[in-house]
A and B are shown apart, each in its own frame.
Chain A
Amino acid sequence: MRDENEMEELESVVERMQQGDRAAYEVLLDRFQPSVFRLAHRVTGSREDAWDVVQEVFLCVHRRREELREASRFGPWLYRMAYCQAVDVVRLRSGKRADAWGDGDEARATAPEAGPSARAETKALADEMNRALSALPEKFREPLVLATHGKLSYEEIAGTVGCPVGTVRSRISAARQLLRERLSAWLGND
């Protein structure tokens, strides 16, 4: 994944894209479109919104290509833009701040009744994951999503969000813990 040759090759493609090479841009588009979509889908919970995010992010890549100082940091740069764009889309849609995590007393969806179809249960679990994620405080959710869906290292995340690596690590763990607490009713270990 983080193979050195692959990284060097990617850097050279990024540099060519920064110089305005359209073919290089297309290589990056093809390579990163699926992962940007998945990240955006994870954050927005909506396929349609996720595709809008993909559009905006790749136009931003073009417009802001000169802002990227080191080609090796293309991934963190791209996924951070994707994350921020996705959060904006959610805010616009809901008209409220996305990080309204309460202290556990907000209406929680009830745990599944015995005997619903497996598909309904899967759907309910997915919905609850979406709710749990959108309820996470931004400072926990961003590093978590960048790690799981952007495949960024903790060091890259630290550089991107501007806090120490140890903080990234503990926040990601806290984020998972909050998700686990919220989903425990579905997962049978409470």
Chain B
Amino acid sequence: MQGSTGPECAKVRELLSARVDGELAGGEAGLLDAHLASCAGCRTEQETFAAVELELRRSLEPSAEELAASRSRVLSRLAALDGAALAPSWWDGLLAFTWRPALALGIAVALVAVIGRAPEVVEAPGRQSAAVEPGDGETALVLARLPSGSLAGGVGVDAGPGSVALRLDSGASDETPILWVITGGEQ
């Protein structure tokens, strides 16, 4: 660093840095330029600074294909999250404390009281998705215990085919989600 060692020279480095970020305060630009005009060491330093900055900001541009692929992946994961968020709020209060298959069975039993016939309960650990197509007068529930321990679920009441669909995205977790599918209805 040929000669760019004075106290003013040290200050100049901070000004160079602030300038590339558009952060010079009023009057500082003049100070910087005046110093650069009179200090050969700082002029050389400025060139190196510019080369470092260029390298720092050099970045690989995402391709249109990559952007499109990433976009559709984000949106489909989001759609899955929204499906999981269908659980009515009272589920949260009722079911937040503990999660085990017995509880799903308990819900199934409660369903019997409501719908008048034994519901079918399918436990599907590790499954990532379930779609239920309740028939006429049928009630269907899809519940899932997510890897985080929280519950997601969807309820469909004779709303037509495919009205309850839940797709889980376990993300990076190595714990598999457990899905319960409960269907039932009036005869």
A residues whose Cβ falls under 8 Å from a Cβ of B? 25-26, 29-30, 33-34, 37-38, 41-42, 47, 51, 54-55, 58-59, 62-63, 125-126, 129, 133, 144, 147-149, 153-154, 169-170, 172-173, 176-177, 179-180, 183-184, 187, 189
Contact = CB atoms under 8 A, between A and B. Distances in A.
B62 A55 contact: no
Contact of B55 (A47, A125, A173, A189): A125
A179 B55 CA distance: 10
B74 A29 contact: yes
18 contacts: A26-B75, A29-B71, A33-B70, A33-B71, A47-B60, A55-B73, A58-B78, A59-B81, A63-B81, A148-B56, A149-B57, A154-B23, A169-B18, A173-B13, A173-B16, A176-B49, A183-B51, A184-B48
B173 interface: no
B17 interface: yes
Contacts of B47: 189
B59 A42 contact: yes
Q: Is the interface of A mostly helix, strand, loop or mixed?
A: helix
B58 interface: yes
B32 to A, nearest CB: 13
Contacts of B53: 176
A180 B48 contact: yes
Interface residues of B, number: 35
Residue of A126, A148, A176, A183 most packed against chain B (CB within 10 A): A176
User: Interface majority SS on B: helix, strand, loop or mixed?
Assistant: helix
Interface in B64-111: 66-67, 70-71, 73-75, 77-78, 81
A147 B74 contact: no
A51 B70 contact: yes
Contacts of B174: none
B52 interface: yes
Contacts of A51: 66, 70
Contacts of A34: 61-62, 67
A79 to B, nearest CB: 14
Interface centre among B22, B59, B61 (most CB of A within 10 A): B59
A87 to B, nearest CB: 15
